[in-house]
Chains A and B, each alone.
Chain A
Amino acid sequence: EVQLVESGGGLVQPGGSLRLSCAASGFTLSNYEMNWVRQAPGKGLEWVSYISRSGSVIYYADSVKGRFTISRDNAKNSLNLQMNSLRAEDTAVYYCARRSDDNSRSVDAWGQGTMVTVSS
Chain B
Amino acid sequence: DIVMTQTPLSSLVTLGQPASISCRSSHSLVHSDGNTYLSWLQQRPGQPPRLLIYKISNRFSGVPDRFSGSGAGTDFTLKISRVEAEDVGVYYCTQATQFPHTFGQGTRLEIK
Chain A residues within 8 Å of B, Cβ to Cβ: 35, 37, 44-47, 50, 59, 61-62, 95, 99-100, 103-108, 110-113
Contact = CB atoms under 8 A, between A and B. Distances in A.
A104 to B, nearest CB: 4
Closest 7 CB pairs of A and B: A106-B54, A105-B96, A110-B48, A47-B101, A105-B37, A104-B54, A45-B103
Contacts of A61: 100
Given A44-B106, A45-B49, A106 B100 contact: no
The interface size bin for chain B is: 20 to 34
5 contacts: A44-B90, A44-B105, A50-B101, A106-B39, A106-B55
A113 B48 contact: yes
A47 B54 contact: no
B100 A107 contact: no
Contacts of A45: 41, 43, 49, 92, 94, 103, 106
Contact of B48 (A100, A105, A111): A111
Nearest to A6: B48
Given A45-B49, A95-B49, A105-B37, A100 B92 contact: no
B60 A108 contact: yes
B102 A47 contact: yes
Contacts of B3: none
Contact of A95 (B48, B60, B100, B105): B48
B58 interface: yes
Contacts of B51: 100, 106-108
A44 B94 CA distance: 11
Contact of B103 (A47, A59, A110, A112): A47
Contacts of B66: none
Given A105-B96, A106-B54, A106-B96, A46 B37 contact: no
